[in-house]
Amino acid sequence: MIKYISRRLLMLIPVLIGVSILAFSLIHLVPGDPARSILGEKATQSQLEALQEELGLNDPYYVQYGRFLGDILKGNLGESIQSKESIGVELLHKLPATIELAVFAMIVAIIVGVIAGVIAAVKQYSWFDNMSMTAALFGVSMPIFWLGLMMIWLFSVTFDILPPSGRLSTGVELHTITNFYLLDSILTGNWLAFKDSFSHLLMPGLALATIPMAIIARMTRSSMLEVMRQDYIRTANAKGLKKTLIVFQHALKNASLPVLTVIGLQFGLLLGGAVLTETIFSWPGIGRYVYLAVLGRDYPVVQSTILIIAIIFVLVNLITDILYKYLDPRIKFE
């Protein structure tokens, strides 16, 4: 097991080299000039050239890439061209915001998706099955920017019960330790901040949860339908076990493997920063951070953040693979 994990972690190295090359080339292929976007339209040619020289933008690409890679290996993610802030410090604030949002969205998606999928499968072709699967179809097809805007219009503008943006209302004090606001407010016993940050989390979290929820519900349903036909379910029935035990233990554990795959992929995607959701709800996570960096041609921020996102994605997949083993004892790690 440990051997397997260390081998998978070693395989991370070539993946990350590939990702770094890709991130580096992509951002340099995009037309635009960071010096121009910093100085604005009115800057003179000589000012531009001076800044380009200062930022090292005139060096050959391989030198620039080498510098980027060298910094990474020294554990230095570089600093933003725009704000001059250290990217590492920025990410310490942005990453917890994204993780908090993604975890909340995933918890909602898993609980609702799995339960709806199981009930839909057990009561196949019932009104619940038809309703929930139609809703799931809507869920996957709904553009998130539209859904987000509609939620803001309904809950913030019309009813004014939820805040439309940000993580915390102005005026609410929170002493941050981990930068996970919910966690921090529990740790410091600050219930006002807990309530406030939770109300901020609710709308973007639900908006973000819709697509994974719909995918999980559909996957759970089809997987459960398959499993409920198996011989061992008939055996469990013949043993006189309770229906709930058969469905939620015997069937669900067998059906959960493909569902786990979907959960892992979706969770990886959400952690990579839900750009649209974070932008609409002004959620200060890495999705919005990268989005703003791309607009400002902030090369170091884009490169380093993409690298971090890639690491997270690979790690989430590794954890998913390890979890397989616990769900299905027949799986062996070679």
Partner 1 sequence: MKSVKPLLEVKNLHTHFFTKAGVVRAVDGVSFDVKPGETIGIVGESGSGKSITAMSILGLIPSPPGKIVDGEINFKGDNLLKKTEKQMRQIRGKEIAMVFQDPMTSLNPVFTVEKQMVETILAHEKVTKKQAQQRAVELLNMVGIPDPKKRLKNYPHEFSGGMRQRVMIAMALSCNPSLLIADEPTTALDVTIQAQILELFKKMQKELDMAIIMITHDLGVVSEVCDRVMVMYAGKPAEFTQTKKLFDNGRHPYTTGLMNSIPKITPNKEKLQPIKGLPPDLRSLPQGCSFAPRCNHVMASCLTNDPTLSEVDDNHFVRCLLYEQSKKAVTT
Nearer to partner 1, 12 or 327 (CB): 327
* Stretch of 12-20, 203-211, 231-239, 298-306 lying at the interface with partner 1 (CB under 8 A): 231-239
Residues in the chain: 334
Query: What is the C-alpha separation between 187 and 7, in angstroms, rounded?
Result: 37
- Tell me if 241 contacts partner 1 by CB under 8 A: yes
- Tell me if 84 contacts partner 1 by CB under 8 A: no
Q: 46 forms bridges with which residues in the sheet?
A: none
Size of the site for partner 1 (CB under 8 A): 20
- Tell me if 31 contacts partner 1 by CB under 8 A: no
Q: Which of 47, 253, 295, 319 binds partner 1 (CB under 8 A)?
A: 253
- Tell me if 123 contacts partner 1 by CB under 8 A: no
Task: Return the DSSP state at 79.
Answer: B
- Tell me if 242 contacts partner 1 by CB under 8 A: yes
Query: What is the C-alpha separation between 288 and 293, in angstroms, rounded?
Result: 8
- Tell me if 250 contacts partner 1 by CB under 8 A: yes
Return the half-sphere exposure (C-beta side, CA atoms, 13 A cut-off) of residue 304.
Answer: 28
**Smallest gap from residue 252 Cβ to partner 1 (A):** 10
Nearer to partner 1, 207 or 246 (CB): 246
Q: Which tokens belong to 99?
A: 């993780």
Nearer to partner 1, 269 or 327 (CB): 327
Query: What is the C-alpha separation between 71 and 62, in angstroms, rounded?
Result: 14
- Tell me if 237 contacts partner 1 by CB under 8 A: yes
- Tell me if 52 contacts partner 1 by CB under 8 A: no
- Whether the CA torsion 135, 205, 110, 317 is positive or negative: it is positive
- Tell me if 175 contacts partner 1 by CB under 8 A: no
* Stretch of 64-72, 163-171, 176-184, 239-247 lying at the interface with partner 1 (CB under 8 A): 239-247
> 243: burial class by Cβ within 10 Å (0-12, 13-18, 19+)?
exposed
* Stretch of 103-111, 228-236, 273-281, 285-293 lying at the interface with partner 1 (CB under 8 A): 228-236
Query: What is the C-alpha separation between 325 and 1, in angstroms, rounded?
Result: 10
Q: Are 27 and 302 in contact (CB under 8 A)?
A: yes
Whose tokens are 């908090």? That residue is 100
Q: Which of 254, 266, 303, 304 binds partner 1 (CB under 8 A)?
A: 254
Nearer to partner 1, 263 or 280 (CB): 263
Q: Are 124 and 252 in contact (CB under 8 A)?
A: no
User: What is the chain's alpha carbon radius of gyration, rounded to the nearest angstrom?
Assistant: 24
The residues binding partner 1 (CB under 8 A) are 230-232, 234-242, 245, 250, 253-254, 327-330
